[in-house]
Amino acid sequence: MKGVSGRWYLPPPVMRGDCMKITKQDIVDTSIDLFAKHGVQNVSIEQIANTVKIAKSSIYHRFKGGKDDIVDNIIMIFDEMVQYNTPNKAECLDINSDARSVLFKLFFVIKGKESQKYRKINRILFSDQHYNDRIKSYMLEDIFKKREKNLIYCFNLLVQHEKVEPFNAIAAARILNHLYIAYAMEDSHNNEFNPNELPVILTNLQNDCMRIVQQIINGNFPD
Protein backbone atom coordinates (compact mmCIF):
# COMPACT_ATOMS: atom_id res chain seq x y z
CA MET A 1 0.00 0.00 0.00
CA LYS A 2 1.28 3.47 -0.85
CA GLY A 3 1.20 6.21 1.74
CA VAL A 4 0.77 9.95 1.30
CA SER A 5 4.56 10.35 1.28
CA GLY A 6 4.77 8.08 -1.73
CA ARG A 7 6.47 5.33 0.24
CA TRP A 8 5.22 1.77 0.25
CA TYR A 9 4.34 0.15 3.56
CA LEU A 10 2.57 -2.93 4.82
CA PRO A 11 -0.91 -2.30 6.21
CA PRO A 12 -1.55 -3.42 9.80
CA PRO A 13 -2.86 -6.98 10.04
CA VAL A 14 -6.61 -7.27 10.15
CA MET A 15 -7.76 -9.53 12.98
CA ARG A 16 -10.53 -11.94 12.17
CA GLY A 17 -13.73 -11.86 14.14
CA ASP A 18 -12.80 -14.98 16.10
CA CYS A 19 -9.47 -13.46 17.10
CA MET A 20 -11.17 -10.36 18.43
CA LYS A 21 -13.27 -12.55 20.73
CA ILE A 22 -10.20 -14.20 22.30
CA THR A 23 -9.27 -12.51 25.58
CA LYS A 24 -6.04 -12.50 27.57
CA GLN A 25 -7.76 -14.75 30.09
CA ASP A 26 -8.57 -17.26 27.36
CA ILE A 27 -4.88 -17.41 26.45
CA VAL A 28 -3.83 -17.74 30.10
CA ASP A 29 -6.37 -20.50 30.76
CA THR A 30 -5.23 -22.42 27.69
CA SER A 31 -1.59 -21.97 28.74
CA ILE A 32 -2.39 -23.33 32.21
CA ASP A 33 -3.87 -26.47 30.65
CA LEU A 34 -0.90 -26.97 28.33
CA PHE A 35 1.75 -26.17 30.97
CA ALA A 36 0.12 -28.54 33.47
CA LYS A 37 0.16 -31.37 30.92
CA HIS A 38 3.54 -30.82 29.25
CA GLY A 39 5.58 -28.39 31.38
CA VAL A 40 6.33 -24.74 30.69
CA GLN A 41 9.64 -25.47 28.97
CA ASN A 42 7.98 -27.93 26.58
CA VAL A 43 5.22 -25.64 25.34
CA SER A 44 5.84 -22.98 22.68
CA ILE A 45 3.90 -19.83 21.84
CA GLU A 46 3.03 -21.50 18.56
CA GLN A 47 1.41 -24.41 20.39
CA ILE A 48 -0.59 -22.02 22.55
CA ALA A 49 -1.68 -20.05 19.47
CA ASN A 50 -2.71 -23.20 17.62
CA THR A 51 -4.74 -24.42 20.59
CA VAL A 52 -6.50 -21.08 21.02
CA LYS A 53 -6.80 -20.87 17.20
CA ILE A 54 -5.23 -17.45 16.74
CA ALA A 55 -2.01 -16.22 15.15
CA LYS A 56 1.21 -16.08 17.19
CA SER A 57 1.33 -12.33 16.57
CA SER A 58 -2.03 -12.00 18.34
CA ILE A 59 -0.54 -13.54 21.48
CA TYR A 60 2.48 -11.23 21.36
CA HIS A 61 0.06 -8.34 20.85
CA ARG A 62 -1.52 -9.19 24.22
CA PHE A 63 1.63 -10.44 25.97
CA LYS A 64 4.62 -8.37 24.85
CA GLY A 65 7.06 -10.59 26.72
CA GLY A 66 5.63 -13.78 25.26
CA LYS A 67 5.70 -16.86 27.46
CA ASP A 68 7.42 -15.00 30.33
CA ASP A 69 4.49 -12.60 30.57
CA ILE A 70 2.02 -15.50 30.52
CA VAL A 71 3.92 -17.21 33.35
CA ASP A 72 3.84 -13.96 35.36
CA ASN A 73 0.07 -13.81 34.92
CA ILE A 74 -0.29 -17.41 36.08
CA ILE A 75 1.80 -16.72 39.18
CA MET A 76 -0.33 -13.65 39.93
CA ILE A 77 -3.53 -15.71 39.70
CA PHE A 78 -2.12 -18.33 42.07
CA ASP A 79 -0.93 -15.70 44.54
CA GLU A 80 -4.35 -14.03 44.57
CA MET A 81 -5.99 -17.38 45.31
CA VAL A 82 -3.62 -18.01 48.21
CA GLN A 83 -4.08 -14.51 49.65
CA TYR A 84 -7.86 -14.69 49.31
CA ASN A 85 -7.90 -17.83 51.44
CA THR A 86 -5.55 -16.50 54.11
CA PRO A 87 -7.37 -14.80 57.02
CA ASN A 88 -6.22 -11.26 57.78
CA LYS A 89 -5.75 -9.71 61.20
CA ALA A 90 -9.38 -8.56 61.45
CA GLU A 91 -10.65 -12.06 60.71
CA CYS A 92 -8.30 -13.60 63.27
CA LEU A 93 -9.49 -11.20 65.96
CA ASP A 94 -13.19 -11.15 65.07
CA ILE A 95 -15.02 -11.72 68.34
CA ASN A 96 -17.72 -13.65 66.46
CA SER A 97 -15.24 -16.19 65.10
CA ASP A 98 -13.68 -18.90 67.22
CA ALA A 99 -10.30 -20.53 66.68
CA ARG A 100 -11.83 -23.42 64.75
CA SER A 101 -13.42 -21.20 62.08
CA VAL A 102 -10.22 -19.14 61.69
CA LEU A 103 -8.01 -22.21 61.40
CA PHE A 104 -10.37 -23.88 58.94
CA LYS A 105 -10.18 -20.88 56.64
CA LEU A 106 -6.42 -20.73 57.14
CA PHE A 107 -6.13 -24.26 55.79
CA PHE A 108 -8.58 -23.92 52.91
CA VAL A 109 -5.69 -24.14 50.45
CA ILE A 110 -3.41 -26.31 52.55
CA LYS A 111 -6.00 -28.99 53.30
CA GLY A 112 -6.64 -29.71 49.64
CA LYS A 113 -9.98 -28.04 48.90
CA GLU A 114 -8.52 -26.42 45.80
CA SER A 115 -10.30 -25.55 42.62
CA GLN A 116 -9.26 -27.31 39.43
CA LYS A 117 -7.30 -24.23 38.35
CA TYR A 118 -5.44 -24.09 41.67
CA ARG A 119 -4.28 -27.69 41.33
CA LYS A 120 -3.20 -27.19 37.74
CA ILE A 121 -1.12 -24.13 38.64
CA ASN A 122 0.25 -25.91 41.69
CA ARG A 123 1.43 -28.69 39.38
CA ILE A 124 3.08 -26.14 37.07
CA LEU A 125 4.91 -24.39 39.91
CA PHE A 126 6.25 -27.53 41.56
CA SER A 127 7.14 -29.21 38.28
CA ASP A 128 8.88 -26.26 36.62
CA GLN A 129 10.59 -24.51 39.52
CA HIS A 130 13.96 -25.95 38.47
CA TYR A 131 13.61 -24.84 34.85
CA ASN A 132 12.05 -21.38 35.12
CA ASP A 133 13.69 -18.55 37.08
CA ARG A 134 10.42 -16.66 37.59
CA ILE A 135 8.75 -19.69 39.11
CA LYS A 136 11.83 -20.56 41.16
CA SER A 137 11.92 -17.07 42.69
CA TYR A 138 8.21 -17.14 43.52
CA MET A 139 8.44 -20.59 45.07
CA LEU A 140 11.38 -19.62 47.27
CA GLU A 141 10.09 -16.26 48.49
CA ASP A 142 6.34 -16.84 48.63
CA ILE A 143 5.55 -20.55 48.89
CA PHE A 144 8.41 -21.55 51.20
CA LYS A 145 8.95 -18.37 53.24
CA LYS A 146 5.84 -16.20 53.01
CA ARG A 147 3.39 -19.03 53.69
CA GLU A 148 5.26 -20.03 56.84
CA LYS A 149 5.38 -16.41 58.05
CA ASN A 150 1.63 -16.06 57.48
CA LEU A 151 0.95 -19.18 59.49
CA ILE A 152 3.14 -18.00 62.39
CA TYR A 153 1.50 -14.56 62.32
CA CYS A 154 -2.03 -16.00 62.50
CA PHE A 155 -1.06 -18.53 65.18
CA ASN A 156 0.48 -15.83 67.38
CA LEU A 157 -2.60 -13.61 67.04
CA LEU A 158 -4.82 -16.45 68.20
CA VAL A 159 -2.58 -17.05 71.22
CA GLN A 160 -2.21 -13.35 72.11
CA HIS A 161 -5.97 -12.87 72.15
CA GLU A 162 -6.56 -16.09 74.08
CA LYS A 163 -8.51 -17.88 71.37
CA VAL A 164 -6.25 -20.90 71.89
CA GLU A 165 -3.84 -22.04 74.58
CA PRO A 166 -0.15 -21.11 74.05
CA PHE A 167 1.70 -23.46 71.72
CA ASN A 168 4.85 -23.49 69.60
CA ALA A 169 3.63 -21.48 66.61
CA ILE A 170 6.92 -21.73 64.72
CA ALA A 171 7.06 -25.53 65.01
CA ALA A 172 3.40 -25.89 64.00
CA ALA A 173 3.85 -23.59 61.00
CA ARG A 174 6.92 -25.46 59.80
CA ILE A 175 5.29 -28.86 60.17
CA LEU A 176 2.18 -27.76 58.27
CA ASN A 177 4.15 -25.96 55.57
CA HIS A 178 6.41 -28.97 55.05
CA LEU A 179 3.36 -31.23 54.89
CA TYR A 180 1.83 -29.00 52.22
CA ILE A 181 5.04 -28.90 50.18
CA ALA A 182 5.54 -32.67 50.40
CA TYR A 183 2.01 -33.49 49.29
CA ALA A 184 1.98 -30.77 46.61
CA MET A 185 5.25 -32.09 45.23
CA GLU A 186 3.86 -35.63 45.14
CA ASP A 187 0.67 -34.45 43.42
CA SER A 188 2.64 -32.48 40.82
CA HIS A 189 4.58 -35.60 39.83
CA ASN A 190 1.55 -37.87 39.73
CA ASN A 191 1.42 -39.47 36.26
CA GLU A 192 -2.31 -40.01 36.65
CA PHE A 193 -2.95 -36.35 37.52
CA ASN A 194 -6.63 -35.45 37.09
CA PRO A 195 -7.74 -32.00 38.28
CA ASN A 196 -11.36 -33.19 38.35
CA GLU A 197 -10.68 -35.74 41.08
CA LEU A 198 -9.35 -35.25 44.59
CA PRO A 199 -6.60 -37.87 44.89
CA VAL A 200 -5.85 -39.94 47.95
CA ILE A 201 -2.69 -37.96 48.67
CA LEU A 202 -4.68 -34.72 49.11
CA THR A 203 -7.22 -36.48 51.31
CA ASN A 204 -4.28 -37.64 53.44
CA LEU A 205 -2.94 -34.07 53.50
CA GLN A 206 -6.30 -32.79 54.71
CA ASN A 207 -6.42 -35.42 57.46
CA ASP A 208 -2.84 -34.72 58.61
CA CYS A 209 -3.40 -30.95 58.72
CA MET A 210 -6.72 -31.27 60.53
CA ARG A 211 -5.13 -33.55 63.12
CA ILE A 212 -2.60 -30.85 63.96
CA VAL A 213 -5.29 -28.16 63.94
CA GLN A 214 -7.35 -30.21 66.38
CA GLN A 215 -4.31 -30.53 68.67
CA ILE A 216 -3.96 -26.73 68.62
CA ILE A 217 -7.65 -26.21 69.40
CA ASN A 218 -7.59 -28.77 72.22
CA GLY A 219 -4.40 -27.32 73.70
CA ASN A 220 -2.49 -30.55 73.09
CA PHE A 221 0.16 -29.17 70.74
CA PRO A 222 3.47 -28.87 72.65
CA ASP A 223 4.64 -25.38 73.60
**Residue 58 within any structural domain of the chain:** no
| Predicted TM-score of the model (pTM) | 0.75
**Residue 157 within any structural domain of the chain:** yes
Q: What percent of the chain has pLDDT over 70?
A: 74
**Residue 28 within any structural domain of the chain:** no
So what's the pLDDT on residue 34?
A: 96
Q: Is pLDDT above 70 for 149?
A: yes
Helix (H) or strand (E) holding 89: helix 89-93
**Residue 83 within any structural domain of the chain:** yes
What does the pLDDT look like over 95-121, one tens digit per residue? 566 777 777 666 654 444 456 788 889
So what's the pLDDT on residue 95?
A: 55
Of 36-40, 48-52, 97-101, 177-181, where does mean pLDDT reach its minimum?
97-101
Do residues 62 and 26 lie in contact, with contact meaning Cβ atoms separated by under 8 Å? Answer: no
The phi, psi pair for 107, rounded to 5°, reads: -105, 20
**Beta-carbon count within 10 A of 8 CB:** 8
Strand blocks (E) in the chain: none
| Amino acid identity for residue 21 in this structure | K
| Domain that includes residue 204, residue range | 66-218
**Residue 4 within any structural domain of the chain:** no
Among candidates 218, 213, 185, which has minimal Cα distance to 201?
185
Between 111 and 38, where is the model more confident?
38
**Residue 131 within any structural domain of the chain:** yes
- How many domains is the chain partitioned into structurally? 1
**Residue 51 within any structural domain of the chain:** no
103: domain CATH number is 1.10.357
- Residue 8's DSSP bridge partners are 2
So what's the pLDDT on residue 11?
A: 44
Q: Is pLDDT above 90 for 13?
A: no
**Residue 149 within any structural domain of the chain:** yes
